[in-house]
A = this chain, B = another copy of it.
């Protein structure tokens, strides 16, 4: 029969992190609960939606938790409801006591709230991992490569493998991260500080976005463990499991062009704003595109919607070289690509009106490249 007292804010923060893996409307009703395991070492909170699982460990010696454990045990509590109740409690500490099998009382100040729970035995077993030889990486570095690539993954299930991000470690040192929805592609390469075992996995982009939300900036490093169908991101207190996507990721290396006929450099933010303007009108056209024209070293953007109106805008290119060109594309892809960068300037390189063009941060040495496929118009 569980009994402990804990700082309310600390407990709430741990519950809210765990809840990121819990879906209120899960097809398996038991997965809408949070599992609470209490033993002499501390409290473990577990949440899962079948794809992602989070375990949050609150050690008994964690100063900020003010944790005092009197008695051990396990229980399942409806996650959303339990968190609402905890956050409403009046005092800075709360007492959690199991008064009879699967029934608890929360006491805080003069408030006493009794809640019914479920038997912890009903909770599905999360797959165990062979936790060996983890990759050690700075959280910030890993979150950066996710930010730079995961947005380009597909949102459509027609080709499930493209909803993932392809992570490949080769030479025990070079981490390549790629995502594409077949209209645009983003690839980032970094060199790890410490060599590690090679791997080649496809992680659902949604899982990686959740990882970025769960691993806050105060967590300096993360250990990454791999198994055949699962990946585990682990810090001192948090274990974040996600299933991998099965199947072969397409060979994207062959898609990346190396020779170009026209190259331009822009201020990234100004180009983004011009594309935002173009998009307001391109959204009202049938093919949704903006036309970019390069003529005698003048670059301009054009949209023509017969119903709504037109945009004509001269773009300030910082440098231009190569041939004149007219090319049409979806401005949203260019806006997304520019948002994923953080440099002041960006270099865009074209081959022809019908071949994908590339974006790289100005002065980048081939570590971050994005591709956008144009739209043929007549």
Contacts and interface: CB of A to CB of B under 8 A. Distances in A.
Interface in A268-282: 270, 273-274, 276-277, 280-281
Given A90-B273, A273-B88, A114 B280 contact: no
Contacts of A280: 81, 84-85, 88
Contact of A308 (B81, B274, B284): B81
30 contacts: A78-B308, A81-B280, A81-B284, A84-B280, A85-B280, A85-B281, A88-B273, A88-B276, A88-B277, A89-B277, A90-B270, A90-B277, A103-B309, A110-B315, A111-B274, A111-B277, A111-B311, A111-B312, A111-B313, A112-B311, A112-B312, A113-B309, A113-B310, A113-B312, A114-B309, A114-B310, A114-B312, A115-B308, A115-B309, A116-B309
Interface of A: 78, 81, 84-85, 88-90, 103, 110-116, 270, 273-274, 276-277, 280-281, 284, 307-316
Best-buried of A113, A310, A312 by chain B (most CB within 10 Å): A113
Which applies to chain A's interface (DSSP): helix, strand, loop or mixed?
mixed
Contacts of A281: 85, 113
B307 A116 contact: yes
Contacts of A314: 110
B81 A113 contact: no
Contacts of A315: 110
Contacts of A276: 88
Given A81-B308, A308-B81, A113 B277 contact: yes
Best-buried of A81, A88, A270, A313 by chain B (most CB within 10 Å): A88
A84 B284 CA distance: 13
A84 B279 CA distance: 10
Contacts of A78: 308
A272 to B, nearest CB: 11
A112 B89 CA distance: 57
A190 to B, nearest CB: 35
Best-buried of A84, A89, A103, A277 by chain B (most CB within 10 Å): A277
A340 to B, nearest CB: 21
Nearest to A279: B88
A277 B112 contact: no
A284 B81 CA distance: 10
A82 to B, nearest CB: 10
Contacts of A273: 88, 90
